[in-house]
Structure 1
């Protein structure tokens, strides 16, 4: 939250020069930080942000979800646990058997509400009183949209598309071992089988579980 807030504050005051490559790197940085907000809210849904303190855990989850385009934690929570109980079935709100675009539209309908759009529109007009329009679009709006695609592609579409091997009780795939790419692409949630197998692990321990399972398979 601190990284997202401080970086956004600095970028909203930055002199935009569309010819500078730094602008586009800054957009990617904000996209990564937006994704981090949602991953924090996701971990709160599993009770691992503040273990032993349910109120603090829920508070952090609510704040981080809200900062990401006004997502409502109370709405996300039951849907996410429904996803874990009914992975890749008709009862899974995250799953769709169609192609990428149909799947994304189905995903968006599940999670994007009219209230979110209205709140984003209102905040957009309010921010124009203090910050340049191009800064608001580049560093507040665009990264949130890109992060939504990032989360969907790496955290839902890739892990759950297609058929899975018999015996794969989580109906989930996993990225090949590459911890740098796994972190940059989606905070290790490309290691998705590992997450479904041990949902009580925070995002920053998933790479350890990936290594453990690989060593275990090598011994077999």
Structure 2
């Protein structure tokens, strides 16, 4: 539990520091303007990590023996990420694990499984509805009219990283693992495959969520354990291949 809390804090705290500094105190002029793309890139990666922490919370992996603490951290991550509801996302995510890659899977585009654009558009509309839009609008109103955050900074350093990170999460954590490939069947009923990237790239792209078949086989393993789980899975597969 201590490791899970420490790893989560290592993503949440930097996100908060960058968020506060960039949104409230960074002038969009001079040398700071040249640094803006790097800050957006860093906050995009941290936003991916923020969502992955919340995802671990859906599986009870942040603080396994403290469910209230686990849910509290996950709720906080989703709120500051984009005003999402933990309960709603957790419910739908469990449906995804129950019937992956089928018409009953809320994360799967059964009508356009080969179209990234159509799939992402449907995915975005499904999870970001009127309720989420209302919550986020209320938060933004507080930022602008109560606290006095500059609108340009909000759009650049919060809205843009959230949108870019959603594309990154969707591409590496949903589309690539679950899209059908002609002539390449899925290994089992999880209808998922892992994105074959070395650990460093796997970390930067999606905090190892691209090791997706391993995640479906071991959903309670936290994101930082997935490389070890994948190594063990590949070794077992190789041993099985040699044995036959």
- Which residue is 2:229 aligned to? 209
How far 1:218 moved relative to its partner? 2.8
- Which residue is 2:130 aligned to? 114
| Contact 2:186/2:193 (8 A) holds in 1 | no
The structure in which a higher percent of residues are helix is 2
- Which residue is 1:76 aligned to? 89
CA distance in 2, matches of 1:16, 1:191: 38
Q: Is 2:17 aligned against 1:6?
A: yes
| Contact 2:82/2:136 (8 A) holds in 1 | yes
Aligned partner of 2:55 among 42, 49, 58? 42
Cα shift readout 1:119-155 (whole Å, capped 9, x = no counterpart)? 3223333323423232111111111111111111111
- Which residue is 2:9 aligned to? none
Q: Is 2:143 aligned against 1:127?
A: yes
Aligned partner of 2:217 among 189, 194, 197? 197
- Secondary structure, in 3 states, of the residue corresponding to 1:68? helix
Worse-superposed segment, 112-121 or 197-206: 112-121
Q: 1:84 to 1:23 in 2, by over 3 A?
A: same
Worse-superposed segment, 142-151 or 101-110: 101-110
How far 1:207 moved relative to its partner? 0.8
Q: 1:165 to 1:137 in 2, by over 3 A?
A: same
**Unpaired stretches in structure 2, ≥5 consecutive residues:** 1-11
How far 1:178 moved relative to its partner? 0.7
| Aligned ranges 1:124-163 → 2 under 5 Å | 124-129=140-145, 130-163=148-181
| Contact 1:17/1:23 (8 A) holds in 2 | no
CA distance in 2, matches of 1:150, 1:166: 23
How far 1:166 moved relative to its partner? 5.3
Worse-superposed segment, 170-179 or 191-200: 170-179
Cα shift readout 1:99-133 (whole Å, capped 9, x = no counterpart)? 11221122123211212212322333332342323
| Contact 1:34/1:144 (8 A) holds in 2 | yes
Worse-superposed segment, 116-125 or 45-54: 116-125
How far 1:21 moved relative to its partner? 4.4
RMSD across aligned positions (CA) = 1.7
- Which residue is 1:89 aligned to? 102
Q: State the TM-score, normalized to the length of structure 2.
A: 0.84
| Contact 2:102/2:108 (8 A) holds in 1 | yes
| Contact 2:187/2:193 (8 A) holds in 1 | no
Cα shift readout 1:155-180 (whole Å, capped 9, x = no counterpart)? 11110001452542311011114111
Aligned partner of 2:116 among 81, 100, 105? 100
